[in-house]
Structure 1
């Protein structure tokens, strides 16, 4: 049982690092391998999607905005 728990914490650590460095891969790993609740997974996915949409929107806005 302790080996499984240790393996789970390594997977959790890996997923958190991937969420910070390369979030699309982190989201896929999170949904596939973590034992987190479905509501936590949905909240993280929605937050990262909104952050991406806001970032792309602001980049497009400032590129179009006349100087």
Structure 2
């Protein structure tokens, strides 16, 4: 395995981990450093944005709801 291939694998792993833990930074790294197609990048960005909006909405909804 060449050094470039190992470096690319580590970069993909780093992008995926940051997408799971700190998604805004992971999305920025994905757009900057992965050779994935634009449609894949847009789909991942939209999915993560929708998940974040739904999570924030549900947290706010249950916090405001009287108990």
Q: Structure 1-normalised TM-score?
A: 0.90
Q: Which residue of 1 aligns with 2:12?
A: 12
- Aligned equivalents of 1:64, 1:14: Cα separation in 2: 37
Gap regions ≥5 residues in structure 1: none
CA–CA distance in structure 1, aligned partners of residues 24 and 17 of structure 2: 12
In structure 2, how many angstroms separate the alpha carbons of the residues matched to 1:63 and 1:17? 29
Residue 45 of structure 1 corresponds to which residue in structure 2?
A: 45
Q: How large is the Cα RMSD of the aligned pairs?
A: 1.0
| Structure of higher RCO (CA pairs closer than 8 Å, 6+ residues apart) | 1
May I ask how many residue pairs the two structures share in their alignment? 66
